[in-house]
Amino acid sequence: MLKFTEDHEWLKQDGDELIVGITAHASEQLGDVVFIELPEVGREVEAGEEIVVIESVKAASDIVAPVAGVITAVNEALPDTPGAVNEDAMGTWFFRIKPASVDLSGFLDEAGYQALVG
């Protein structure tokens, strides 16, 4: 089951880790993505910390860690193929994080996210 943040990220629980990407809405707002900088594997992050830089032809923005934890993997193909985000935002992950606590109750479900973006 997917959960969503108000910052337009999607989260998918996989065991004791979360897989994180950006939503189709975020991809549409960004336009053509041309550059992505991912965090280092093993990096400890705090919730709300800016950890990914994403640039498009329209703007540059950051993706923040949805939870505190340790980055366990990054999508190593993404920096070479940033357009994959535009082709399939919901199927393109950025990083995996092992959270200090796996409590997703504070995140939006699909209906809540759709209400947010209208």
pLDDT in tens, 21-71: 999 999 999 999 999 999 999 999 999 999 999 999 988 999 999 999 999
Which residues touch 90 (CB under 8 Å, ≥6 apart)? 10, 21, 23, 24
**Greatest Cα pair distance in the chain:** 37
pLDDT, residue 103, reads 82
- Percent pLDDT > 90 in the chain is 91
d(CA 107, CA 11): 9
d(CA 37, CA 55): 9
